[in-house]
A and B are shown apart, each in its own frame.
Chain A
Amino acid sequence: QKEVEQDPGPLSVPEGAIVSLNCTYSNSAFQYFMWYRQYSRKGPELLMYTYSSGNKEDGRFTAQVDKSSKYISLFIRDSQPSDSATYLCAMSDSNYQLIWGAGTKLIIKP
Chain B
Amino acid sequence: DAGITQSPRHKVTETGTPVTLRCHQTENHRYMYWYRQDPGHGLRLIHYSYGVKDTDKGEVSDGYSVSRSKTEDFLLTLESATSSQTSVYFCASTQEGEKLFFGSGTQLSVL
Q: Is B111 an interface residue (CB 8 A)?
A: no
Q: Is A45 an interface residue (CB 8 A)?
A: yes
Q: Which of A10-18, A55-63, A100-108 has 4 or more CB atoms under 8 Å from chain B?
A: A100-108
Interface residues on A, range: 20 to 34
Count A-B contacts at CB 8 Å: 49
Asked if A41 and B98 sit within 8 Å, CB to CB, the answer is no
Task: Give min CB distance, B25 to chain A, whole Å.
Answer: 12
Complex interface: chain B residues within 8 A of A43 (CB):
4, 90, 92, 102-105
- Chain A at the B interface: mostly helix, strand, loop or mixed? loop
Asked if B43 and A96 sit within 8 Å, CB to CB, the answer is no
* Known contacts A43-B90, A43-B92, A43-B103; A49 and B42 CB within 8 A of each other: no
Asked if A46 and B43 sit within 8 Å, CB to CB, the answer is no
Which residues from chain A sit less than 8 Å from chain B, CB to CB?
4, 6, 8, 32, 34, 41-46, 49, 88, 90, 92, 96-98, 100-103
